[in-house]
Every structure is written in C-alpha cells, then in structure tokens.
Structure 1
Amino acid sequence: MPQTSPKLAGLATASLLVLAASAPAAGDSVEEQIRQGLELYQTGELGAAITELEFAISDIRKAMSGRLADTFPEPPAGWTADAAASSSEAAGAAAMFGGAMGTMLERTYSQEDGAGTLTAALMIDNPMVQGMAALLNNPMLMSAQPNTERLRVGRETGMLKWEPDNASAEATLMLDGRIMMQVKGDNLDSPDVAADLLKAWDIEAVRAGAAR
C-alpha cells in the first residue's frame, strides 16, 4: 500500500472535508461520494478514490449548471425560448478533456412571426474565454474588427458585431476574465434584439452562481 506522509494526508483530508461541507444541501449523493473517496484515499486505494471524487465533481457541476440556467433572460416580446441546458458539444468536449472545458450552457430563442433565432451562451472557465478576453480588453483590437462596436452593459464593456449582408448579430460580454456571456442571432431586422437580450441577463446572479 502506498505510504503517505502525515502532512500530505492531513491536507488531503482537510480539503475533502471542506468540499463535502460546501456541497449543495440537495446533494446527499455528493456527500456520500466524497466520504467514500476519503475512505478509499485513507486506505491507499487511490485510483478508486479518484473515481469517486470525479463522480462527486461531476454532480457538483450539474448543480452549478442548474443554478446558472436560472439566470438566462426571459424571451423578448414576440419570441419564445427553450429551457437553458448544457451544450451538447460542450458536454462531449468536457468528457474528452476531463472537465477542463469548464461550464457551458445555452438557451435558444425563436421569433414567433418571423425566421429570427437567437442563441444565448454562457461559458465559464473555458479556454475559449481567454482569447475573447484579450479582444474585449483592448480597444484598438476591438475597433479593428469589421462591423464591430463597443457595447456598454451597465458598467461593463462588451462588444456588438452586426453583419447586415446576412442579418446576423453577435453580442458578447466578459466578466472577471473567466465568464463569457454571448448572444448570437440570425435572420434579424437589426442587432438591437441581440444586444437587448444580453443587457437583460442577470449579471450579478451569474457572478454569484459562478463564484469560486
């Protein structure tokens, strides 16, 4: 059986207990998985401990996604919307990279009397966020983008891109360098509907739900 120093064992035990204490009240299975992972770790069954804790982390991510899904804006007048859900593409990528793709949620909106569509997407701790953060934080880079202008959302700075030839819009907002909120639309009369939907998003609720 692998020998573990008392100091390392103590640190691991403390970390696992903190994780268990921070688990959602509704997540009894999470607490059980963490306890089981701790017991396996203490008996030297490290591979089995990792498996239990990975299941616990997956369930915690699901709980986090449920909270964040509630932050998505309601459909504008004349539009309907599906329920917010994890992106199927993101789920597959996360499985391949061991959860390293972070959290990705989407909600689709459809125009009732037209062909317009909107997709609101929320990305947290995703590698794609870093590249967009560099663009949004550099006024010169942003102004160099074709058909793109600054979009102010409260006290935050975002970006609005409008392609009149194909009636598509893209409104993007970055929070705290790790949270990207984006609305993409097609078959739109103007970019305003995408910009307004982004502005209607509950920013503080997103921050609270994604807090570390």
Structure 2
Amino acid sequence: MAVIAAGALSLGSWVAQAQADEVVEQIELGLELYQEEEYGAAITELEFAISDMRKLMAARIAETFPAPPDGWSAAEVSTSGGGGAAAMFGGGGSMLEREYRQDGGEGRLTAKLMIDNPMIQAMSAMFNNPALIAAQPNMERIRIGRESAILKWDPDNGSAEASFLMDGRILMQVDGSRLESEAPAVELLKAWDLDAVREQSAR
C-alpha cells in the first residue's frame, strides 16, 4: 500500500513539474513575442501561463482541505461556479469545495474555500460586528484557536453553517445538513490546515 501511495505521489509531482515547465515555456515565448512587438500573441501566451499557474495554485490549496472525520468519507476536491479552478483566483466567483458523507447515516457536509471573492467583502462586516452576530437567530461566535468564527445552527432541520474569515480575504466555510448536532461542522472547520491555506494563497 505504501508503495502505491509513493508511486501516486511521484506521479503527481511529475505532472506538476511538467505543467510548471510548460508555464516557463509560455512565459519565455511571450517575452520573445513582446520583444518582436507581436503584442497580441504575447498577451495570449502570457494569459495561458497565468491560467496554468492558477491551476497549480488551486491544486496546492486543494491539499489543505481537512480529512474526513471518523465515521465519515470524503470526495475529491472540486470546483463550483462558472469559471473553474483558475477563475477562483481571477475574480470569476468560483470556489473550491469538498463533499463529506456520514457512513451509514444521512449527514452531509460541504467544505468550501474562497479567496479574493467579492462575496467575502459583503460578509466581512458580520465577522467584525458582535452586535450583528447577536441579532441573527441561531447564530453565535465560536473560536478557531485564538480567532473568531461564526456558527449558525438550526436544530429543527439539522442544518449548520460554520464560517471563518482569515486575513480579510480568505473565507472557509462548512455547510452541514441532516446533522444531529453542530459538532461535525465545527470540528471539520477546526481541522482545516490554516497555516497551509495562508501559505499557498499568499500573494
């Protein structure tokens, strides 16, 4: 099993390296075209390079998503929204997300991550205003280490939403449904590798 895992890791590294090499070629070609004053072609090559770099960045951030809790299983990290993984970092309004299912039960969790998304600006006021949190039904502040997060829990329908805003531009959120308590959503949010998210999303 360890041999298979090591082989998969090696293959993933090779694919990432091959894509990175392609980015270098695109940048070099874009520079050559720019120096030849073929500006339209240069822009095209550089836009392809930027798109590929965004994909590499998205792949690294996908690795920060938490493993499934005991008694749960998880799907692969995917994208939602109209622009795909690359658009997540280009203002396209997309996000990375991962689905979790309760083994032998009906519980569902969805972990979402957004970076530099316009929606984040709209939510930031909530995180910074205790009065707004207190005014919302079924909403309370929770702790992620020394930092604050927001939990909305509706016991009547078993739905939860745990949200954490980091550095004013990175939103991590866990939505849950058909839950017996808010604990799975809160625990999954707390299990996120925050240091890795901050490192991989640095600009």
1:31 equivalent among 21, 24, 33: 24
1:106-140 alpha-carbon deviations (Å, 9 max, x no partner):
01000111111000001011111111112111111
**Alignment-derived partner of residue 49 in structure 1:** 42
Q: 1:105 to 1:92 in 2, by over 3 A?
A: closer
Counterparts of 2:200 and 2:89 in 1: how far apart (Å)? 22
Counterparts of 1:93 and 1:107 in 2: how far apart (Å)? 13
3-state SS in 1 of match to 2:105: coil
Deviation at 1:99, TM superposition (A): 2.9
Is 1:124 the counterpart of 2:115? The answer is yes
2:60 equivalent among 64, 67, 72: 67
2:197 equivalent among 184, 188, 206: 206
3-state SS in 2 of match to 1:171: strand
1:91 equivalent among 63, 71, 83: 83
Counterparts of 1:93 and 1:196 in 2: how far apart (Å)? 26
**Alignment-derived partner of residue 4 in structure 1:** none
Instruction: Give the conservation status (yes or no) of the 8 Å contact 1:65–1:86.
Output: no
Q: 1:91 to 1:160 in 2, by over 3 A?
A: same
Counterparts of 1:211 and 1:146 in 2: how far apart (Å)? 35
3-state SS in 1 of match to 2:112: strand
Unpaired segments ≥5 residues, structure 1: 1-23
Q: Give the CA RMSD over aligned residues.
A: 2.1
Unpaired segments ≥5 residues, structure 2: 1-15
1:136-163 alpha-carbon deviations (Å, 9 max, x no partner):
1111112111110001100111100011
Matched positions, count: 187
**Larger radius of gyration, structure 1 or 2?**
1
TM-score by length of 1: 0.82
Q: 1:98 to 1:168 in 2, by over 3 A?
A: closer
Counterparts of 1:142 and 1:50 in 2: how far apart (Å)? 46
Is 1:189 the counterpart of 2:184? The answer is no
Counterparts of 1:204 and 1:166 in 2: how far apart (Å)? 33
Runs (4+) of structure 1 exceeding 4 A deviation are 92-95
1:136 equivalent among 117, 121, 127: 127
**Alignment-derived partner of residue 104 in structure 1:** 95
